[in-house]
Amino acid sequence: MANWDLKGKRAVVTGGTRGIGATTADELRALGAEVLAVARKPVDAHAVVTADITRAEDRERIVQAVKDRWGALDILVNNAGMNIRKPWTELAPYEQATVVDTDLLGPANLLRQLHPLLAQGKAPAVVNVASVAAFVDVGSGAAYAMAKAGLVQLTRSLAVEWAGAGIRVNAVAPWYIRTPLTEPVLSQPDRLERILARTPMKRVGTPEEIAAAIAFLCMDKASFITGHCLVADGGLLSLGL
Ligand SMILES: NC(=O)c1ccc[n+]([C@@H]2O[C@H](COP(=O)([O-])OP(=O)(O)OC[C@H]3O[C@@H](n4cnc5c(N)ncnc54)[C@H](OP(=O)(O)O)[C@@H]3O)[C@@H](O)[C@H]2O)c1
């Protein structure tokens, strides 16, 4: 099992205080990484930079915290995200902007601002947390879908642009995972039944299953993988008739 770990790695996980992000932060720590979580609200348990990824000055605080602590960055997990689930015609322009800022422009600008520190990292790796909504309509609303689709293409473009600097850039695309974000949907029996009917594995995923996929893409073991989007969906995208 040599090198199936993240020993000595320095990682930032946005949205690292709840749901998929918190579980990913725990997984990276268990594999030997030091982790700095980012969220708007602080939590006591671990190191957290209090920052809103949609605000340029807050993103600069994240950069400063990494500079002060490590001087370089090996792993960025761009996980923070949200949704306002409404039909396109009912989504107010400010709501559309909030979704796109959080799910696409915030992560994209954080990548730009952290690039110099990633470029100084050891075998640096980025994982952007997208969604199957980037590929098919899953009732998430168009703003979330287009933002996540943009995040997947950003992943491919930066994988190419940053390959020369040795920075790998990948994404994961989950289907339904039980977290505080999805609990309001999954707690409705009729909604859950419709979701399971479309899922060949007949269950939703766990944060641990996404954290494992993210951790693998961060490892030096994944050293030839870049520009890839790893779908973790219980078979959803493979289901035809
Ligand atoms: N759960 C699913 O089924 C599912 C499926 C596909 C994709 N995803 C994606 O997976 C990611 C995580 O989802 P989740 O279900 O774990 O969400 P969650 O349980 O709602 O957790 C979101 C995390 O992001 C932080 N956050 C939200 N907005 C932020 C902002 N503007 N700046 C900084 N931090 C922010 C939250 O902390 P604060 O509120 O304190 O800021 C929290 O730590 C998201 O990108 C989501 O789109 C989830």
Cα of 12 from ligand 1 centre, angstroms: 14
Cα of 145 from ligand 1 centre, angstroms: 15
Pocket lined around ligand 1, Cβ cut-off 6 Å: 14-15, 17-21, 38-41, 52-54, 79-82, 102, 129, 131, 174, 176-177, 179-182
pLDDT at residue 45 in the model: 66
Sketch out the chain's domains with CATH numbers. Answer: 10-178+206-229 (3.40.50.720)
Which residue lies with its CA nearest to atom 39 of ligand 1? 40
**Residue 115 CB burial class (10 angstroms; 0-12, 13-18, ≥19):** buried
**Model confidence pLDDT, tens digit, residues 151-182:** 999 999 999 999 999 999 999 999 999 999 99
Task: Report residue 96 as tokens.
Answer: 């559309």
The answer to whether residue 47 scores a pLDDT higher than 90 is no
Annotated catalytic, 94?
Answer: no
Q: What is the pTM of this model?
A: 0.98
Arithmetic mean of pLDDT, 144-151:
98
Catalytic residue among 144, 162, 175, 176: 144
